A = this chain, B = another copy of it.
C-alpha cells in the first residue's frame, strides 16, 4: 500500500542509490575505501558485531583489526579501548555495542588523521542514556521541525484511517535506510523517543506499537533503544476507562497491561517520555495528584522490564509571576518522592530554548531525584533551518555554568539512571537537517552527550573534518570559524545582553512590541519590560522576582549584583535605565545598538566566509547554504531594525553613528511576514534557478 511511509521509501531509494553522493545525506559518516580490511572477531557474533565488521571492512585502510569482548572491572558496558601496535589494531569492550562504538571512533580518527603508528586509548561515556527526542506526529508533521516531514511517521489521513493496512505497510517497509542508525551509533546516541511530547493517545494503540516494533528491530543492532512519548490520558482515550487518576486501580492495571504488551513486542523498550499538565496536556494535576504520583504510576508499570519514565519539568502554567522560577518551585518539594526509574527532564534554561539563557535553577535543587538536561537541537528560536547557528558553543556554556554551580556531575553519578536528551533536527530533507550545516548540531549533541567536557571548538573541528574532508587547512579553519561565531551572531541580532522571548508567533520573526491581549507571560513586552525609562526583567532579590536566590550563592550573588552581573545576562536579571553604563562602558541603549549591528555584521561576514569556499564544497550544498546565509543577513537586518525602532519609539534617543540606519519602518516590521519558506531544502533545479 502506497499511502503510508512513502516518504521513507523515497528516502531509502535516494540513500541506497547514491549513499555516498555529496548531497549531504551521508552526514559525517566515513566513505567506503574500496579496499577490504581484514577484521577478526574474538567473540560471539551478533548483529551488532556484524555491523562493526562491515563498517571496518569497508572503511578502514590501516591494516588488520581484532575485535574482542573483554570484561573489565569498573568499565562501563559501552566503553571501549583501541590500541594499535606494529600495525595491528585491537578494539576491546565489555559489549558488542562498545565494539561498534570503537569501530566508528577508529574510522573517524582515520578521516581526522589522528591515527598514529602506535597508540592506545580508552573512552567511556559520561551519560549512560543519550537520547534524541523526535517531536514527530503520526500524521507526518514534525513540531518545530524545519527539515521536511517526519522520518518516522507518515500515516496518511491520520488519525481517522489508522488501521491494519498501515501496520502491514510498516511491516513491509521497515526503516531500511541505516544512515540514521549509523549516524547515531557513530556518536554513541543510544536511544530515540520516536514521537512528539505533545503525544497522541494513539501512540499506545496496538497498531502503533506494532509499527514501533519495526523501528525497534531496525535500530536495535545499532544499540539504539526506542522510547515513546505518551499521553497521560491514554487509559481514558485508548483504554476506554473513565479516569486516568493514578490512584485508580483500573488505571494502574491498564498501564501494567500496556507495559506487558509493549515489552512483549519490544523486550528492550526504553520507556516513556511524558509532558504532563503543561501547555494543555493532561496530567496528574487534573486529578489533584502530584507530578511524583503521576510519574510513579507509569514508572511502576515498566520498572519490572527495566524501563524508565522521563517526566518533563517544562511547566507553562506559572503560579509565580516569574515563569523562569516555576520549574524549581513545582519540583523542588517533590524531591525524593519519585521512583528510582523516573528522571526529571529539564530544559537547559528556565524559560524555553532561547538563544541565550542562564541554566535552569532546578539543576541546583534536586538531590534525591535523577535529572536529565533537555537540549533543543532543532533551532526553534535560532533562525530555524534558515540561519546558521552552531549550538556546540551554547551547550558548552551550559555545562560550564551547570557543572560547578549545580554540582551537575555528582548529581548525575548519584542517580540510578544518568541521561541527557536533545530535541532532534531531523526530517525527510535529503540532508536530514534542512540547513546542511545544521548537521553539526546533531553531531555536537551526540559528542557532548558522550562527553560533556568536550569543548565546542574541538567538536566543530571534528565535524568539519569528517563532513568536508577535502577542504584545505585554510578552508577548514574558515568553516570552523563560521560555526564558532554563529550562535553569538544570532544572540546579537535577535536578543542581546539578556533579552529573551522577543519573538513573534512563529518563534522566528521579531516581535519585541507584541502586546496583544493574551497571557502576559507569553508576550515579548512582558519579558523586555521596556518603557521610556528603561528595559529588562528584574529578577533580583532586592527589587525583583528573586530568581537569583534559586541559584547557588556563588552564581546567584554575581547575577544579583548589578556591578558583577555580566553584560550577557544584564537584562535577564536586571531592569535598568537606558542610560545605565554596561561593563563595556557603553550605555544600555548603545550596547543594544552595538550588538544588533554586530549581529548584522557577523551575518555578512558569514556570507563572505562561505563565499570564499566556493569550488571547495559540492555546488548544490554551496548554493543552498549561500542562499540561507543571505536570508540570515536579511533577517538580521529585520531583527535589528524592528527591535531598535521599537525601543527608540519608547525613549526617543538617537541611533549611534556606527549603526546602519534602518531599512525597514517599525510598521513594516510589525506587519510583514519573513521568508520562512526554506524548510524544505531546495532541489538542484530550484537552486540553479535562484542562483
Contacts and interface: CB of A to CB of B under 8 A. Distances in A.
Interface of A: 604, 607-608, 611-612, 614, 627, 629-630, 633-634, 637, 649, 654-655, 657, 660-668, 689-691
Contacts of A657: 608
Given A608-B657, A654-B612, A630 B664 contact: yes
Contacts of A663: 630, 633-634, 637
A634 B661 CA distance: 10
Given A608-B655, A630-B665, 6 more contacts: A608-B657, A612-B654, A614-B654, A629-B661, A633-B661, A634-B663
A661 B604 contact: yes
Nearest to A661: B607
A642 to B, nearest CB: 13
Contacts of A662: 607, 630
Contacts of A633: 661, 663
Contacts of A691: 649, 665-667
B611 A661 contact: yes
A482 to B, nearest CB: 13
Query: Which 9 A-B residue pairs are closest in the complex by CB-CB distance?
Result: A607-B661, A634-B663, A667-B690, A665-B690, A633-B663, A604-B661, A604-B660, A608-B661, A630-B663
Contacts of A607: 661-662
Contacts of A611: 654-655, 661
Nearest to A662: B630
A152 to B, nearest CB: 34
A661 B664 CA distance: 18
Nearest to A623: B665
Nearest to A659: B608
A660 to B, nearest CB: 6
30 contacts: A604-B660, A604-B661, A607-B661, A607-B662, A608-B655, A608-B657, A608-B661, A611-B654, A611-B655, A611-B661, A614-B654, A627-B665, A629-B661, A630-B661, A630-B662, A630-B663, A630-B664, A630-B665, A633-B661, A633-B663, A634-B663, A637-B663, A649-B691, A665-B690, A665-B691, A666-B690, A666-B691, A667-B689, A667-B690, A668-B690
Contacts of A608: 655, 657, 661
A635 to B, nearest CB: 10
State the majority secondary structure of interface residues on A: helix
Contacts of A627: 665
Contacts of A668: 690
A614 B654 CA distance: 9
Nearest to A603: B661
A665 B655 CA distance: 29
A667 B637 CA distance: 20
A638 to B, nearest CB: 10
* Most chain B C-beta atoms within 10 Å of own C-beta, residue among A661, A666, A667: A661
Nearest to A633: B663
A564 to B, nearest CB: 35
A55 to B, nearest CB: 39
Contacts of A689: 667
A113 to B, nearest CB: 29
Contacts of A612: 654
A54 to B, nearest CB: 43
Contacts of A630: 661-665
Nearest to A656: B608
A655 to B, nearest CB: 6
Nearest to A664: B630
Contacts of A667: 689-691
Nearest to A600: B660
A336 to B, nearest CB: 56
* Most chain B C-beta atoms within 10 Å of own C-beta, residue among A608, A654, A655, A657: A608
Nearest to A629: B661
A349 to B, nearest CB: 31
A612 B668 CA distance: 23
A607 B641 CA distance: 13
A657 B478 CA distance: 14
Nearest to A649: B691
A328 to B, nearest CB: 43
A612 B633 CA distance: 26
A601 to B, nearest CB: 9
A689 B666 CA distance: 9
A626 to B, nearest CB: 9
Contacts of A637: 663
A637 B655 CA distance: 21
Contacts of A690: 665-668
Nearest to A663: B634
A33 to B, nearest CB: 34
A54 B23 CA distance: 81
A53 to B, nearest CB: 46
A295 to B, nearest CB: 49
A634 to B, nearest CB: 5
A690 B664 CA distance: 10
Contacts of A664: 630
A663 B668 CA distance: 18
* Most chain B C-beta atoms within 10 Å of own C-beta, residue among A655, A662, A663: A663
A287 to B, nearest CB: 52
